[in-house]
Every structure is written in C-alpha cells, then in structure tokens.
C-alpha cells in the first residue's frame, strides 16, 4: 500500500538511527518511556490521522468557514476528529501529565505531530493553538492563573489564540493602539481591534482564551510599553467556572487563498466598554512572553510546511507510478512500443528526487531542532544544555523560513508531476500548495526572520553559537569521508560550509558598517544559503548512516531505503548546492542596486 502523509520508515530512521532519540529514555525526565512506547504512539497517530482526519481535508476546504449573524461556523466535518483528538490526549504531548500532557520529549511529539498537523493543518489550528496560550501562562502566570487555565488549555477543553496584529501596526507591534485601563479590582478594561486572528472565534470549545497585547494607559511608547493580558471569550470566575460573555467579538472573517477551514478573524475588544482582562506576567514586559510563544510557533510552522511537502511528494510519487503516458525515451522512435508509467521519464524522476531529498532533509532539520530543545533540558552539564539552547535559537528562524519556502516549492513541484491534473480540484495537490503558502507569511515573514538571524542570532555569544553550528556540520563531513562512495559529496559539502562561514563574516561586518542596508538586502538570500547548507549536512549525515548499515550486511528488505538515502544526498549536494554557491557569491559581491535604485525607477 502506498505511503500517506509521511514516510513511516523515514521517520523511524531519523528518530532512532540519526538522532538516537531512544537515548532520551535514560534521563530522569523520560525514564517512564522506551523506544517501543515511542513507536506505538507514532503508529497510533498515523492510524488516527488516516482514518479520522484525512477524510476532512478536501471536504473542509470546500465547505470552508462561514460568518453568519455574528457567528463563526466551522466545517461540520471537523467536530468528530476534534473531539477524538482531545479524547486521545494528542493536544499537548510534550507537557507534564499533571497539566494534562503526556510528558513526551519534543523530538517524539514532533514526529507524532507530523501526522496530526500534516494531515489537515486547518483542523489542527483549533486543536493545538491553546497549547501556546497555556505555555505562556505556565511560564509567566500566577499560581492562580495556572490553576485555572493550564489543564483546560493543554487538553483543549478550552482553546487559545494570539491577538497581536492590528490594522495600522502590522508587524510593527510597537505601534499597536489597543489600550488597557486599570480597574479597582485589579482587572483591566481593554479597547481596540485586532486582525488575522487564527481560530479567533468558533464553537468547538466552551471557552476561548485570548492572549492580547495592549498598552496600559500612561505606559511608554513602542514595544517597551506593551503588556500581555488574558482575555477570555467568557469571563472565568475565581473558582474556575465560566461566567458572563466578555466584550470581545468577531466582526468578520478573511476569505483566504488557502486553509479555508481555519477561521481567520477580525476581533473587536471593548466595543461596549466591557472587555475585561487580567495582566499576564509583568507590566510592560508583554513582548517577552509573546516572543516565547512565537518562537515555539515558528518550530510548528517549520513542521507544518515540510509536512505539506511530504504529503505532496507521496501523492506525486504514487501518481507517477500509476499514470501511464508516453513511450520510454529509448523507444521514442518506435511507434509500436507500449506506453509506460511517467516515473520512467527522466524529468519526472528528477522532480521526484528533488522532492524526496528536500522532504527528507527538512524532516531531519525539523526533528534535529526539536531534539535540541530536549537536550537543552536533559543534557548532563550546564555547558551542554546552554549549547543546545542557543543552537535551537540560531536554527529556529532558518527552520521557519527555509521549510516554508521549500515546502511550498515542493508542493508546486508536485503539481508539475501531475501536469494538468494537478491544477484541478480532482486531486489534493493544488490545495496543499494553497494551504502551504501561508507558512512563509505568518509568525514573521521571511524578511523578518532573516533580520532576526542577521541582527540577533549570528552574533550570539560573540559568534561562538554560529561557530558551534559550523563545527557540528563539519563533524558530519569528517564522518562521511570514511566511506569511499561519499568522499566526493563530502568534499563538496565541506567547501559549502566553509563558504557559508566566510559569507557570515562578510555580511556580519557589512551589517555593522555604513552599508548596513545592503547587508539586510541580502539577509534572506543568506538565510536561504544557510538552510541549503543545513540540508546538505543533514543529508550527508543520513548517507553516512546508510553507508555504514550497507557495509554491515543490512537486511535485503532495507537495501532500497538505504540506497535511497545515498541518492538523496548525492542529488541535493551535486544539483542544488552549486546554486547555493552562486547565491553566496552574490552575497559576497554585496550588490547595492536594491538600495540605490530611486523609488520612481521601480
């Protein structure tokens, strides 16, 4: 039977052969788990996703979200899988059991989520957004707030959102106009408008808890005066029971290119002067809490977008094996020769291998980053914990942006494999491309992520964090050189890593000079080059593991999979990284046309 959503064997390869995720069971935090339980959870998620979620994908897209008489109407087909997701305790897999989670490592939770999120992201938004809200309350809330909200949010009994964007401010959060006035009872009255709020309103849960960024009257201008508030759809009483409806309402929904089953709402706070909220964390420190949620969300976006690509690749692969059209190239002049499946045509094979290598590389990149989160908590020494924490911070903007870009590219590539059929709604490929495009826009656009990488992350700890990343990648090169068939691509990867390091020094110096605008004009290409380099590292690492297994008389049933790992690395490093080298050349050249062109010349 053809694989669906994700390659189950590849997931296992990344988790247990590449990352040794089962070794996490040796630490106190995860000692109640073992490899068998990890495998069982992933298998259950796979079965659940295929049986319960997958049938809602196209149906939910076609039905969409409706806004009628002030009410948000979600696709009816979402209700059953949403309730089953809650019952199966899939909504907060990495959180502590006492708070309603399963206590899993982030690495394993990410693998489970690949199936649950990758099958229907629009549905997943209702199920998992409350987790981010809960995490902020866990980290910054009072004891009472944790007691009231945590378990209900982590178990999706209540859902959550993120009220950040405003019509006039957009990504420049410091310009927000939503205000908060102190009340005598310690609460605040909020007034303002927010837009593009995912899952801003619906009736899947009995309450929706909104984290809202607002400025307390008299607070400083800019981000330094922004505070974070808990604003429930229905007021929550001191005993945790639900009270009267709060003055926060949806005023409309967006008609979007994709994720039609996800309610993207415009929200009005205090139109009747009765919107109440509670401060979360310290006054004027709201951005600190919100950025924690956004960084976690960026890992989720990296997962979402590569999962779309994985879906698209498997659909395209299955179609290419079944679709018979055209004669084999060697029989092109023989009009009596039979037609063959299109997987036999060289250009189709090229597209499939390009998709395969990208999907596998992005899976390793995503799981590796999640694994850094785990090691930042579980490593034996403070030095190791700090190293992994800072490495995850360096990689997060690259993961979010690179996977978003390449995930969409691979969905488009899948349409090309289908040809005209892929452009129709008869197949799910066109929907995957539409749904995936949002990933490069929300939680900070490509340019914002690249600015974060250049302005904040490259110089962390005086550049030692970036140097640690370079050393990690070089270690994979050293290992690959032990295998004769990999030496050529190992040397190519070594050259790429060194060239990336040189370009990092160059763009960093430029950013601190009078030509800083030129540096930021090249920041996205630099991030893309770093992403390609990470992919080469991940794929070469995979190829080394596969080569070692092949050299140790791997079982016959494993040969095709293991040889496929080597071919993925070979293709990416020989066909994609030369383009990356050219991109780095352009960064080093520091062309200034984008900065010096006159506005009227556009």
Tell me how far apart the alpha carbons of residues 57 and 92 are, in angstroms, rounded to a whole number. Answer: 22
Instruction: Tell me what the pLDDT averaged over the chain comes to.
Output: 95
Which tokens in the block code for residue 535? 């992919």
Tell me how far apart the alpha carbons of residues 456 and 573 are, in angstroms, rounded to a whole number. Answer: 29
Q: Cα separations (Å) of 449 from 224, 362, 594?
A: 21, 18, 19
Q: What is the pLDDT of residue 549?
A: 96
Q: What is the pLDDT of residue 296?
A: 77
pLDDT exceeds cutoff 80 at 294: no
Judging by DSSP bridges, how do beta strands 276-279 and 159-160 pair with one another?
Answer: unpaired
Q: What is the pLDDT of residue 443?
A: 83
Map out the domains of the chain as residue ranges.
8-154, 161-288, 446-596
Radius of gyration of the chain (CA): 25
Secondary structure (3-state) at 513: coil
pLDDT per residue as tens digits for the range 497-516: 999 999 999 999 999 999 99
pLDDT per residue as tens digits for the range 350-374: 999 999 999 999 999 999 999 999 9
Q: Cα separations (Å) of 384 from 74, 178, 210, 232, 388?
A: 46, 42, 36, 40, 6
pLDDT per residue as tens digits for the range 103-123: 999 999 999 999 999 999 999
pLDDT per residue as tens digits for the range 9-65: 999 999 999 999 999 999 999 999 999 999 999 999 999 999 999 999 999 999 999
Residue 272's CB: how many other CB atoms inside 10 A?
Answer: 8
From 114, 354, 443, 494, the catalytic residue: 443
pLDDT (mean) for 279-290: 90
Secondary structure (3-state) at 382: helix
pLDDT per residue as tens digits for the range 381-400: 999 999 999 999 999 999 99
| Predicted TM-score (pTM) of this structure | 0.96
Tell me how far apart the alpha carbons of residues 471 and 531 are, in angstroms, rounded to a whole number. Answer: 16
pLDDT exceeds cutoff 90 at 297: no
- % residues pLDDT > 70 (the chain): 100
Secondary structure (3-state) at 581: helix
What is the DSSP secondary structure assignment for residue 229, as one 8-state letter? E
pLDDT exceeds cutoff 70 at 128: yes
pLDDT per residue as tens digits for the range 305-340: 999 999 999 999 999 999 999 999 999 899 999 999
Please give the angle made by the CA atoms of 59, 301 and 117, to the nearest 5 degrees.
40
Is the CB of residue 113 less than 8 Å from the CB of residue 91? no
Residue holding tokens 């690749």? 313
Q: What is the pLDDT of residue 148?
A: 96
Tell me how far apart the alpha carbons of residues 138 and 145 are, in angstroms, rounded to a whole number. Answer: 8
| Close Cβ partners of 13 (under 8 Å, ≥ 6 residues apart) | 542, 545, 561, 565
Query: Do the domains 161-288 and 8-154 match in fold?
Result: no
Q: Which long-range contacts (CB under 8 A, 24 or more apart) does 424-433 make?
A: 425/58, 427/315, 427/319, 428/57, 428/58, 428/311, 428/315, 429/312, 429/315, 429/316, 431/57, 431/58, 431/61, 431/258, 432/308, 432/311, 432/312, 432/315, 433/258, 433/312, 433/408
Q: What is the pLDDT of residue 1?
A: 55
Q: What is the pLDDT of residue 273?
A: 94
Is 98 noted as a catalytic residue in this protein? no
Tell me how far apart the alpha carbons of residues 24 and 30 are, in angstroms, rounded to a whole number. Answer: 6
- % residues pLDDT > 90 (the chain): 93
Confidence of residue 533 (pLDDT cuts 50, 70, 90): very high
Confidence of residue 304 (pLDDT cuts 50, 70, 90): very high
Fold (CATH) for 161-288: Butyryl-CoA Dehydrogenase, subunit A; domain 2 (2.40.110)
pLDDT exceeds cutoff 80 at 292: no
pLDDT (mean) for 155-165: 94
pLDDT (mean) for 237-261: 96
Q: What is the pLDDT of residue 196?
A: 94
Confidence of residue 173 (pLDDT cuts 50, 70, 90): confident
Question: At what angle are helices 286-322 and 121-140 packed, to 10 degrees?
Answer: 150
pLDDT per residue as tens digits for the range 192-209: 999 999 999 999 999 999
Tell me how far apart the alpha carbons of residues 348 and 333 are, in angstroms, rounded to a whole number. Answer: 20
What is the DSSP secondary structure assignment for residue 573, as one 8-state letter? I
CATH 2.60.120.460 fits 8-154, yes or no: no
What is the DSSP secondary structure assignment for residue 574, as one 8-state letter? I
Alpha helices in 141-199 (DSSP H): 143-154
């Amino acid at each position: 039977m053809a694989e669906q959503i994700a390659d189950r064997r590849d997931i296992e390869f990344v988790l247990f052969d590449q990352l040794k995720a089962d070794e996490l069971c040796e630490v106190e935090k995860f000692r109640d788990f073992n490899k068998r339980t990890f495998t069982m959870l992933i298998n259950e998620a796979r079965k659940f996703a295929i049986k319960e979620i997958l049938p809602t994908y196209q149906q939910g897209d076609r039905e969409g979200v409706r806004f009628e008489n002030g009410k948000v109407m979600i696709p009816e087909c979402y209700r059953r899988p949403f309730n089953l997701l809650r019952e199966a305790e899939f909504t907060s897999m990495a959180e502590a059991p006492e708070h309603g989670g399963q206590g899993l490592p982030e690495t394993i939770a990410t693998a489970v989520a690949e199936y649950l999120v990758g099958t229907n992201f629009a549905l997943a938004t209702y199920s998992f957004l409350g987790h981010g809200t809960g995490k902020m309350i866990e980290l910054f809330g009072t004891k009472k707030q944790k007691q009231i909200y945590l378990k209900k949010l982590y178990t999706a009994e209540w859902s959550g959102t993120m009220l950040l964007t405003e019509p006039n401010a957009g990504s420049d959060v410091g310009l927000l106009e939503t205000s908060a006035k102190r009340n005598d009872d310690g609460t605040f009255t909020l007034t303002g408008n927010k837009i593009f709020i995912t899952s801003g309103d619906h009736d899947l849960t009995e309450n929706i808890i909104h984290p809202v960024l607002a400025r307390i009257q008299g607070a400083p201008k800019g981000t330094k005066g922004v505070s974070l508030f808990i604003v429930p759809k229905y007021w929550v009483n001191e005993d945790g029971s639900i009270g009267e409806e709060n003055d926060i309402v949806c005023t409309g929904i967006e008609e979007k290119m994709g994720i039609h089953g996800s309610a993207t709402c415009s929200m009005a706070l205090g139109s009747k002067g009765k919107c109440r909220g509670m401060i979360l964390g310290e006054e004027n420190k709201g951005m600190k809490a919100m950025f924690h949620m956004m960084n976690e969300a960026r890992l989720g976006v990296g997962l979402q977008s590569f999962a779309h690509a994985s879906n698209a690749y498997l659909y395209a692969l299955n179609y290419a094996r079944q679709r018979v059209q055209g004669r084999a190239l060697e029989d092109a002049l023989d009009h009596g020769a039979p037609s063959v499946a299109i997987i036999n045509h060289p250009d189709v094979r090229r597209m499939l291998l390009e998709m395969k290598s990208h999907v596998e590389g992005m899976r390793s990149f995503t799981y590796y980053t999640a694994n850094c989160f785990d090691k930042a908590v579980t490593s034996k020494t403070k030095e190791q914990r700090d190293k992994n924490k800072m490495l995850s911070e360096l990689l997060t903007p690259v993961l979010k942006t690179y996977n978003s870009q390449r995930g969409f590219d691979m969905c488009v590539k899948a349409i090309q494999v289908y040809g005209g059929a892929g452009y129709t709604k008869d197949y799910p490929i066109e929907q995957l491309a539409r749904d995936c495009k949002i990933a490069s826009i929300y939680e900070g656009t490509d340019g914002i992520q690249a600015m974060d990488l250049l302005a904040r992350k490259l110089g962390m700890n005086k550049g030692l964090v970036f140097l640690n990343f370079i050393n990690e990648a070089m270690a994979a090169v050293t290992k690959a050189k032990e295998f004769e068939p990999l030496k050529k691509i190992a040397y190519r990867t070594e050259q790429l890593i060194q060239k990336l390091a040189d370009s990092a020094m160059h763009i960093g110096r430029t950013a601190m000079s009078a030509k800083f605008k030129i540096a930021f004009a090249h920041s996205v290409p630099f991030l893309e080059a770093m992403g390609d380099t990470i992919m080469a590292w991940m794929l070469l690492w995979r190829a080394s593991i596969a080569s070692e297994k092949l050299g140790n008389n791997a079982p016959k049933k494993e040969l095709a999979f293991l040889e496929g790992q080597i071919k993925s690395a070979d293709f990416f490093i020989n066909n994609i990284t030369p383009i990356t080298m050219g991109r780095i050349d352009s960064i080093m050249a520091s062309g200034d046309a984008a900065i010096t062109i006159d506005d009227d010349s556009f």
